[in-house]
Amino acid sequence: MIEPLLPEAGNPFAIFSASGRQLLWFAILVPIALLVVWYARREFRRNRGDTSLRPAGRLFLRSSPRVREQAWRAQIARLEARPPTAIAAATRAPVRVVGLLRSASGNLGGPQGNECVWRNRAGARPQSAVGAELVILADETGRVGIEGIEAAFVIAPAEHHSHHHENVSLYLGDRVEVFGEFDPEPATGENEKATSAELVYGTLGARGPLEIRLVERAASGVPCEPTPS
């Protein structure tokens, strides 16, 4: 039988000296435990407040593309309400640029000077489009590179190739209207004597959506032959 530990006569602190090591650990661990509980409660309250400001997880994921599309349509409407941006004066922001498709890093065939630089089946998904890696758009003030044109949303007339075959295409020489995020870069030209109108001032399409609308097509433009799938 274990007898209770009683203080010695005349020494009321004897019980503490007998269990000093245990009391030392107790004095160290209790403040740590209280600190952990306090921090956990604070994080829980903060996260609960942030969550109340967000839609539910699955609902947010389902609605996010639609919300982004609505925001982009609203941005296009604002750009349409004011004159197009001159390429040489463009800054890092969404812009509407009007110009001619001048050159490209590659093409999908066609007569010289009117090569096809973007094509998709009429009514097909955007993911099935093909295009040049880089297309140069020019206006009276300068030039801009269009990157990732194959992912662009293109508005242009359908072209008949056969009774069951229609394409939508863009060609060098087309006058187009481009909506996209402009990324400025140090102006560069093909040679040191290039004029300001021959300089490339930045790129479109590297970030965010890209929309291209055909404004005018040169009379010499002819449909490019579809390449085999």
Report pLDDT digits (tens) over 61-100: 445 778 888 888 999 999 999 999 999 999 999 999 999 9
β-pair partners for 183: 203
| 30 and 90 part of one domain | no
Q: Residue 24 sits in which domain range?
A: 14-49
Report yes or no on 228 lying in a domain. no
User: Confidence band (pLDDT; 50, 70, 90) for 108?
Assistant: confident
Q: At CA 123, angle to CA 68 and CA 178, rounded to 5?
A: 50
| 45 and 125 part of one domain | no
Report yes or no on 64 lying in a domain. no
pTM (2 decimals)? 0.66
| 181 and 93 part of one domain | yes
Alpha helices in the chain (DSSP H): 14-18, 20-51, 57-80
Question: What is the DSSP-derived secondary structure letter of residue 198?
Answer: G
pLDDT at 174: 95
Report yes or no on 209 lying in a domain. yes
| 140 and 209 part of one domain | yes
Q: Between the CA atoms of 162, 168, 173 and 174, what dihedral angle is there, to the nearest 10 degrees?
A: 130
User: Confidence band (pLDDT; 50, 70, 90) for 25?
Assistant: low
Distance of CA 41 to the CA centre of its chain: 37
Nearby residues of 135 by Cβ (< 8 Å), 6 or more positions away: 101, 103, 104, 105, 117, 118, 145, 146, 149
Report yes or no on 68 lying in a domain. no
pLDDT at 47: 57
Contact 210, 153 (CB under 8 A): yes
Contact 139, 85 (CB under 8 A): no
More confident residue, 63 or 54: 63
pLDDT at 121: 85
Question: What is the DSSP-derived secondary structure letter of residue 126?
Answer: G
Tell me: pLDDT of 41 over 70. Answer: yes
| 138 and 193 part of one domain | yes
Contact 224, 113 (CB under 8 A): no
Residue 20 is encoded by which pair of tokens? Answer: 């000093």
